[in-house]
Structure 1
Amino acid sequence: MCYGISIYLSESHSFNKNWVEKAAKNGFQYIFTSLHIPEEAEVNFIKQVKSLGKMAAEAHMEVMADVSPASLRRLGLSFTELPSIADWGISGLRLDYGFTAKQIAWLSHSLKIGLNASTTDEEQLKELLDEGLQTNQAEAWHNFYPKPFTGISRQSLKERNSLFHRYGIKTMGFIQGDDRLRGPLYEGLPTIEDHRNVTPIDAALELRELGTDKVCVGDLNLTDQTLKEFCSLMDGTVPLYVELNEGYEHFYKLIHTNRMDAAQYVIRSVESRGMELLYDQEAHNSETFKKGSITVDNKLYGRYAGELQICLEDLPANPNMNVAGYVREESLSMLKWVGSGQKFVLHKK
C-alpha cells in the first residue's frame, strides 16, 4: 500500500509546508492537489503550484494534480505544453472532464496519468488503450464526496477496482481526516459514504481489503495520534489500543502475529508462546470473556501455556485462561482486520 495527503492551495504556505513535512516524516509518499476547485479561484496558481512542487521535492514526495481545461488557462499552458509541468515538480496529472482519449493517451507517454476511477467505464478504458495509453504510467483515482450521502458504496468501489486491475492499472481511494476537515461543508472527504463516520485508519484498512492500491487523506490533516497509527500500518502492523492488567504490561508495544491458520473466534499471537513465561491461575468472576478481552493461557493449559489471545466475540470463560486486559472501545472495529498472518501491536492509550 501507498499513502498520500491532500494539499489545497487556498491554505497558507506555512500550514501546507508543516503538513507536508509532518506527513513525509511519518511515511506518506505522495500529494494530491486540485487545480480546479471553485473555492480556490483567487489563488495565484502558477506561483503556488511551483511552490508546492518545490516543497514536495524537498520532502521526497510525488505530486498528482487534478486538472481541467479551465485549469490550463489559469496556468498559462496549452495542452501540448503540459509535459513541461514536470519542471515545476508535478509528477502527474489526474485528467478530469474535458479531455479526449487521444489527448490522455498522448500525455501518458511523458507524465503519470490519473484516470477517474469512479466514472470511467470499460468501453472508455478500451478506447484509451486503443489510443496508446501507457498502463505503467496510469492510475485510476476515485473521487471524494464532500456532500453527505453522495459517496459510493463498498461494492461499487470493489467492482471499479477489479475493472482497472484487469488492465494492469492501480487504483486510489480517499479517506477523511480527523483533525481539520475541509470546508465549505466540513463533513469529511471520503470516497466510500460509510467511511464518513469511521476512523481514518479503519477506512484505510477497508480500502486495502477492497483491493485499493493507494490511500489518500482527502481532508486537511490528521491528528498526531492517527499519524502514529499510520506509521504502524505502513510497517504492515495493525495498531490496537488496549488496557493491560498488572503483570502483563510487557505485552505493550510488542509485534504480534495472528496465526496463519487464523481461528474463527480468537486472534492467537504466534510470538507469545515463544516467550516461555508461565502464569499461575488467576480467579475471574465473569462467566463470559467479552469481545475484545485479552487472555493469556495459564499453566493449567499445559503446552498452550503463555499464549495470548484476543476474543473476536463473547465466549465462555475458561479457568485455564487469565484475563490480561481488554481492547479499548475505539479499537474494537479494528479486530476484523487482524486476519491470517497479520501483524498487530498493542498500544497503551
Structure 2
Amino acid sequence: MNLGFSLYPDAHSLETMTEYIERLTRYPFRRVFLSLLQLDTTDDAMMAKYQAIIQLCRSKNLFVVADINQQLIQQLGWQNQLVTAGKAFGLDGLRLDEPLETQAMIEVINNPHHFKIELNISQANQLLEYLLKNGARKDNIIGCHNFYPKRFTGLSYPHFVETTQTYKDNEILTAAFISATSASDGPWPVSEGLPTLENHRDMASTSQLKEYIYQYLIDDVIISNQFVSDEELADLMTVLSSEKLLDIETLDDLTEAEAKVLAFDHHYRNDISEYVLRSTMTRVVYHEEDFPAREQSKAVKRGDILIDNNEYGRYKGELQIALKDFEVSDKTNIVGWIKPTDLPLLAYIKPNDAFRLLRSGHEKQVDH
C-alpha cells in the first residue's frame, strides 16, 4: 500500500508549504492530492504558487493528481486540451470529481502520454463499466473516492465495498482518504473531519489506515487534511510497516507473565471456534510461568482478551480473543479488551494470520 498526503496552499505562504512538503518527504509518501475546485483562476499569483508546489513535489518523485470539474475546466480554458494543459501545469493526472460527457472522457483517457485520469469511485460504478466496454484504455484509468467534510455525509460501508470492488475486479488502482486527528486544514470552511467512510470520522487515523490495509480493497491511502504532526505520522508508519495490529486496553495489575503473553507475536489457529480466536503458542513458550486465577466477573464481551490460568493445566498461558458474548469459568482470566475504535478490525483477523496486541497503558479495571 502507498501513502499520500493532501496540500491546500491557498491560505499559506509558499515557504510554509515548502517546509511542510520537506518534512513529509522524510516519510515514505508516494503521491499528493491537490484540490483545484476552490481556486480563483484569475489570481495569477495563486496559480503560480500552485505550479511551484507541484514542481517541488515532482522533484521529490511524488505522483501529483489535482481535483477538477467541468466548471473549473471552462474557467481555465482547458476544454479542448485537457491532457496537454494538465501536463503543462506539471501534473501526473487529473481527478474528475464529476464525469465529462462520455465520448469526451474516452478520448481524454486514451491519450498517448500515459497521463492518468482518475475517476470518482464514490459515484455509481456503471460509468467505469461503460467506459471500458466502449474502448477506454484501462492502463490510463485510476480511481479515488471522495472525502466528506460534513458529519453524517460520508460513505456507507456497503456502498464503499460495492463501488470499490468494481475497480478491483478490473485491476484498476484504488485510493481513499483518512482524516488525521492532529490536522484540521482542508479545502472548505466546514471540516468535521475529512474521511471517506462515515464510520471512520471519529476513529484514530491509525485505525482508519488499519481497516483499509486489512480489507485489501484500497491500494493508496491519502491523508485528507493538512499539517499532520510528526507524532501522528510516526504512528501511521508503524501501522504501515507491521503485521496486523490491534490497540488494546488492559487491567492495571497485570502479572509479568500476562504482560509477556500480551506482547507475544501471535498467530490465529486455523481450526476455527465461533467463540474465540486462539493463539496457542504462548502456552508452549510460557508453560513454566505462573498464571494465578483472578477473582472477577466471568461475563465475556466480544473483543475481550482472555488468558487461561494455572487451573487449566496444559492450557495455561493460552491467549484467546472473544468473538461473541459468553461466560468463561474461573480457569480463565479476563486481562484486557480491544479498544472500541479497533474492535471492527477484529473481523479482518483471519485464520493463519499473524497479529500483535498493542497496549495503550495500564488501564483501570472495569466490571465485565
TM-score (norm 2): 0.77
Residue of structure 2 equivalent to 1:269: 279
The equivalences for 1:21-170 within 5 A come to 21-38=22-39, 42=43, 44-57=45-58, 59-68=60-69, 71=72, 79-80=80-81, 82-83=83-84, 85-86=86-87, 90-97=91-98, 98=100, 100-107=104-111, 109-119=113-123, 121-122=125-126, 124-129=127-132, 132-170=135-173
The 1:169–1:334 alpha-carbon spacing in structure 2 relative to 1, beyond 3 Å, is: closer
| Helix, strand or coil at the partner of 2:159 | helix
The equivalences for 1:215-230 within 5 A come to 215-224=221-230, 226-230=232-236
| Helix, strand or coil at the partner of 1:140 | strand
| Helix, strand or coil at the partner of 1:107 | coil
CA contact (8 A) 2:65 2:93 kept: yes
Residue of structure 2 equivalent to 1:185: 190
Q: How much does 1:115 deviate?
A: 0.9
Alignment-mate amino acid for residue 240 of structure 1: D
CA contact (8 A) 2:106 2:131 kept: yes
User: 1:214 and 1:310 mapped to 2: Cα distance?
Assistant: 30
The 1:53–1:308 alpha-carbon spacing in structure 2 relative to 1, beyond 3 Å, is: same
User: 1:216 and 1:38 mapped to 2: Cα distance?
Assistant: 21
Residue of structure 1 equivalent to 2:269: 259
Residue of structure 2 equivalent to 1:286: 296
User: 1:22 and 1:311 mapped to 2: Cα distance?
Assistant: 41
Q: Pick from 300, 312, 323: which aligns with 1:301? A: 312
Alignment-mate amino acid for residue 7 of structure 1: L
CA contact (8 A) 2:94 2:118 kept: yes
| Helix, strand or coil at the partner of 2:307 | strand
Alignment-mate amino acid for residue 198 of structure 2: E
CA contact (8 A) 1:267 1:312 kept: yes
| Helix, strand or coil at the partner of 2:149 | coil
The 1:119–1:266 alpha-carbon spacing in structure 2 relative to 1, beyond 3 Å, is: same
| Helix, strand or coil at the partner of 1:197 | coil
Q: Identity of paired residues, percent? A: 26
Gaps of 5+ in 2: 361-368
CA contact (8 A) 1:108 1:138 kept: no
Alignment-mate amino acid for residue 217 of structure 1: I
Gaps of 5+ in 1: none
| Helix, strand or coil at the partner of 1:151 | coil
Q: How much does 1:155 deviate?
A: 1.6
Q: Does the alignment pair 1:310 with 2:321?
A: yes
| Helix, strand or coil at the partner of 1:201 | helix
Residue of structure 2 equivalent to 1:200: 205
Q: Deviations over 1:138-166 (max 9, x none)?
A: 11222222233333322222221223333
User: 1:212 and 1:265 mapped to 2: Cα distance?
Assistant: 30
Q: How much does 1:14 deviate?
A: 4.8
Q: How much does 1:170 deviate?
A: 2.9
User: 2:193 and 2:338 mapped to 1: Cα distance?
Assistant: 27
User: 1:275 and 1:17 mapped to 2: Cα distance?
Assistant: 51
The 1:42–1:83 alpha-carbon spacing in structure 2 relative to 1, beyond 3 Å, is: closer
Q: How much does 1:111 deviate?
A: 0.9
Q: Deviations over 1:297-327 (max 9, x none)?
A: 3454344333222334444233333444444
User: 2:129 and 2:340 mapped to 1: Cα distance?
Assistant: 47
Aligned residues: 348
| Helix, strand or coil at the partner of 1:170 | coil
Higher mean Cα deviation, 1-10 or 44-53?
Answer: 44-53
Alignment-mate amino acid for residue 282 of structure 1: P
Alignment-mate amino acid for residue 161 of structure 1: T
The 1:299–1:138 alpha-carbon spacing in structure 2 relative to 1, beyond 3 Å, is: same
Higher mean Cα deviation, 87-96 or 112-121?
Answer: 87-96
Q: How much does 1:71 deviate?
A: 4.4
User: 1:74 and 1:270 mapped to 2: Cα distance?
Assistant: 64
The 1:273–1:60 alpha-carbon spacing in structure 2 relative to 1, beyond 3 Å, is: farther
Q: How much does 1:117 deviate?
A: 1.5
Residue of structure 1 equivalent to 2:331: 320
| Helix, strand or coil at the partner of 2:201 | helix
CA contact (8 A) 2:267 2:279 kept: yes
Q: How much does 1:336 deviate?
A: 3.6
Q: How much does 1:188 deviate?
A: 1.7
Q: How much does 1:17 deviate?
A: 4.2
Alignment-mate amino acid for residue 145 of structure 1: Y
Q: Give the aligned CA root-mean-square deviation in angstroms.
A: 3.5
